[in-house]
A and B are shown apart, each in its own frame.
Chain A
Amino acid sequence: EVQVVESGGGLVQPGGSLRLSCEASGFSFSDYEFNWVRQAPGKGLEWVAYTSRSPATVFYADSVKGRFTISRDSARGSLYLQMKSLRADDTAIYYCARAPETVPVNARFDVWGRGTMVTVSS
């Protein structure tokens, strides 16, 4: 079965750090691009970060640039999101979303995980 499973969420204090993971299975991880998309409680979807296939090109939303780092490990079939200097408005469900490589740009998020909840609060 094709799936991605996120983990690593939890409660963290403002200014703290957290590392999210996304484990892929059922398909060739290295053949795909990936994204992180988040959803604050009761709110809409917000694109957070993107990584191309290796060697990776990465892009970030302005709201997380300089604080979040997306990375991938093809040997482990895993995607990561290192988050630092967390703020209350980073509180959200974080989804890992697979993206088939499309020219010239990523055109769709075709497989989503169930998400992992990150709560930033003192």
Chain B
Amino acid sequence: QSALTQPASVSGSPGQSITITCTGSRTDVGNYNVVSWYQQHPGRAPKLLIYEVHKRPSGVSPRFSGSKSGNTASLTISGLQAEDEADYYCCSYAHVNTWVFGGGTVLTVL
């Protein structure tokens, strides 16, 4: 199972909005509404931000939102803050009972 495709890096200034894309195929992102997103700060465990494409767990800021179109899912962070600087990973259920992560995106807050 190949990893989902994410941009290696994105950047933005405080207060701006950025979007991270996650491209898969008809056998994963395109076929299931089971896309989740995770934030990972250096040396820390991943943290769930978004699940089932657009749902936010309690305690996650509404500045984080998710969407999907066809084989591509997206994570948008609005009102960028310095603390948002981290690595971001998407994940999808894939056919034949497996889950696949994206390669990860490094977000830099300028």
A residues lining the B interface (CB < 8 Å): 35, 37, 44-47, 50, 59, 61-62, 95, 97, 102, 105-110, 112-115
A-B pair count, CB < 8 Å, reads 65
- B: residues with CB less than 8 A from A are 1, 3, 32, 34, 36, 38, 40, 44-48, 51-52, 57, 89, 91, 93, 97-104
Q: Which of B57, B89, B97, B99 contacts A44 (CB under 8 A)?
A: B89
Report B-chain residues with C-beta under 8 Å of the C-beta of A106.
Answer: 34, 93, 99
B51 close to A45 (CB less than 8 A): no
Residues on A with C-beta less than 8 A from B48 are 108-110
Do residues A50 and B45 form an inter-chain contact, with CB atoms below 8 A? no
Does B36 contact A44, Cβ atoms closer than 8 Å? no
Smallest CB separation, A46 vs chain B (Å): 6
CB neighbours (8 Å) of B46 from chain A are: 37, 45, 95, 97, 109, 112
Contacts of B45 in A (CB 8 A): 95, 112-115
Give Cα A78–Cα B23 distance, bound, in whole angstroms.
35
Q: Tell me the minimal C-beta distance from B84 to chain A in angstroms.
A: 19
Give chain A residues whose Cβ lies under 8 Å from the Cβ of B99: 35, 47, 50, 106
Cross-chain contact of B34 among A35, A45, A46, A105 (Cβ < 8 A) = A105
